[in-house]
């Protein structure tokens, strides 16, 4: 299976950024294209399952 990794540099300190976007599973609170997000928590190795407005589904793994 193909694995894709994307890295983005953001011009903000980590504490400020995390206050803005919240925990790993909180992406559904601010991302306009997501209708449902289930998460195993906010820890390394946790899975997040997201459903998009178009019916697409994505599973993400949190890395430390």
The tens place of each residue's pLDDT in the chain, 64 residues long, gives 899 999 989 899 989 988 888 888 999 988 999 999 999 988 899 999 999 999 999 999 998 6
Phi, psi dihedral angles at 12 (to 5 degrees): -150, 150
Domain extents in the chain: 14-61
What local confidence, expressed as pLDDT, does residue 20 receive?
A: 83
What local confidence, expressed as pLDDT, does residue 18 receive?
A: 81
Q: Report d(CA 47, CA 43) in Å as an integer.
A: 9
pTM of the predicted model as reported, rounded to 2 decimal places: 0.65
Dihedral sign (CA 16, 30, 49, 42): positive
């Amino acid at each position: 299976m193909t694995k894709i990794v994307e890295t983005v540099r953001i011009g903000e300190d980590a504490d400020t950024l995390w206050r803005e976007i919240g925990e790993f599973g909180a992406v559904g609170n601010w991302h306009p294209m997501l209708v449902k997000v289930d998460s195993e928590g906010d820890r390394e190795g946790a899975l997040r399952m997201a459903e998009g407005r178009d019916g697409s589904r994505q599973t993400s793994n949190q890395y430390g």
